[in-house]
Amino acid sequence: ASFLLLCFRSPLAAPLIFGLLLQAPPTQLSTITQPNFVLLLADDLGIGDVGCYGNDTIRTPNIDRLAKEGVKLTQHIAAAPLCTPSRAAFLTGRYPLRSGMDAVNDYRVIFWNAGSGGLPPNETTFAKILQQQGYSTGLIGKWHQGVNCESRNDHCHHPLKHGFDYFYGMPFTLISDCQPRETPEMDRAFRRKLWLSTQTIGLITLTAVLGRLTSLISVQWKTLTCLAGFSLLFFVSWFSSYGFVRYWNCIMMRNHGITEQPMVTDRTTSLILQESISFIERNKHRPFLLFLSFLHSHTPLLTTKKFLGRSRHGLYGDNVEEMDWMVGQVLDAIDKEGLKDTTLVYFASDHGGWLERQEGERQLGGWNGIYKGGKAMGGWEGGIRVPGIFRWPGVLPAGTVIDEPTSLMDIYPTVVHLAGGAVPQDRVIDGRDLLPLLRGAAAHSEHEFLFHYCGVHLHAVRWHQRDTGAVWKAHYVTPIFSPPGAGACYDRGFCPCFGEGVTHHEPPLLFELSQDPSEAKPLSADTEPLFDTVIRKIGRAIEEHRRTLTPVPEQLSVSNVVWKPWLQPCCGTFPFCWCDKEGDN
């Protein structure tokens, strides 16, 4: 007692004890050195399709539960508005043009399993760093980052070359061509032109032959033979690829081996879920990373009979509700194995919903809520603002909502840091560690500026003015909606990044997103006193950003995107590629 009395009489004691009393209680973060990671990434899901983001007609109770038990980000931004570049940025923590994974042409994603472009071998994914830290790493579902470079089996872009110990899923992406009864989706307009050209050349050849037979045209048989040969070669040159899309692109792989060619879509969902749960069960006694890359909710919207007709939004709503059920099954598996408190779960979408995806009166794409635009639009919020939810009981405060600019690229440094690794120092990493923000230790995001690209073309820039909380966004290029005022490019199917389909703005369109999240009321120097100051500030940021860019090989160039038969993954003797090893089992 006398000792305590002396302590309290010390001039330093009172503030010391007061500080100790105010200190926050320790969380499990101090005892969990290597948490598990379960990263759930939806495909083409709009931010307006999820209950906890305002949808009251599509039922997503499991995703909503994640938000209730964790942290919900309301300004979570994809680095690109299409699958391939957005996922490249997610995996590497870098804007996709830094790795050559954004397009200079209209081919803005990987088009073929037999293309030579893909995520370069010199890129370091978060999976590779976690693998080096002793994690078991698995990717289940969609890849869409390429397969081979120079030969059919070099697998230079394959997930196993990028840090994943185990892969089961599609090396490509789900498309309507994978369903025999669906209208072909891949390169639809170009295929129509090829068919028309083939018919035109064939008609010319037939007319010339008939003219020669009836002596109406004086032409040598040698010339007619050459013309007929050209017609046949032209047809074979394109039909050998586009005529067999289902066999070339719609395949399932386990590690390097093909299990289904073409894939049997009726069982794809159940197999992906089984593989995900099995991976958790196999690795419950060691730290693991599971990247569950859903095929939902991309067309053709593979949905099992159990969920057909259940939603109020047709097939698309059914598909989203089934994906939510799959999320619940994965969460139940985590709980069953007693891993809930040692597992960081993350849910997001790779970009916004596809507004233009329709068949007749059926809407097959998602909804982006109050935000303008959608998939393929690099500037408007609807193309890049996505759900972002983190759950880690005991570490992240439950029921928290954060309205700060964050990016899918932030996953990279966040998981690397938590796993005890270090981000590469020999390259620019654009992502920022989110843990201080998620835990409440930081009030603001580390992102002052975010750059919004459409292909390699800079369309918009976001500036988070931290001293005032304002979020300014300047649009330098916007797509021209068709028909006018429609809110999307329905006449094209996708909005373009450049050319006659876009408008360049000088001065740029300026919005204050915290006041106008729908980007409905552009500001001007007459209506906003800070207009010129903001535009100058953003202009200087663009100059600094461009100084960090270095030339790299274009992975989505035409020469890398085209179908190359010698690169085609094949489970038989090419071109006789067919197998069903899952059915055999």
Which residues are part of the catalytic machinery? 83, 144
Q: How crowded is residue 494: how many other Cβ atoms within 10 Å of its Cβ?
A: 21
288 in Cβ contact with 36 (< 8 Å):
yes
**Nearest to 447, CA basis, from 113, 109, 76:** 76
The answer to whether 405 and 103 are in contact (CB under 8 A) is no
Q: Using the structure block, give the residue that is written with the tokens 């969609």.
A: 142
Residue 538 Rama label (left phi>0; alpha psi -120 to 50; beta): alpha
Distances (CA, A) of 545 to 194, 203, 424, 449, 452: 41, 54, 19, 9, 12
**SS3 string of 136-171?**
EEEEEEECCCCCCCCCCCCCCCCHHHCCCCEEEEEC
- Read off φ and ψ for residue 25, nearest 5 degrees: -65, 145
How far is Cα 401 from Cα 68, in angstroms, rounded to an integer?
Answer: 9
Would you say how long the chain is, in residues? 585
The CA distance from 348 to 41, in Å, is 5
Beta strand extents in 78-147 (DSSP E only):
136-142
Closest CA to 79 of 503, 494, 447: 447
Q: Are 105 and 558 in contact (CB under 8 A)?
A: yes
Q: What radius of gyration, in Å, describes the C-alpha atoms of the chain? A: 27
137: left (phi over 0), alpha (psi -120 to 50) or beta: beta
For residue 158, CA distances in Å to 87, 113, 165, 252, 337 come to 14, 11, 11, 13, 30
DSSP classification of residue 135: -
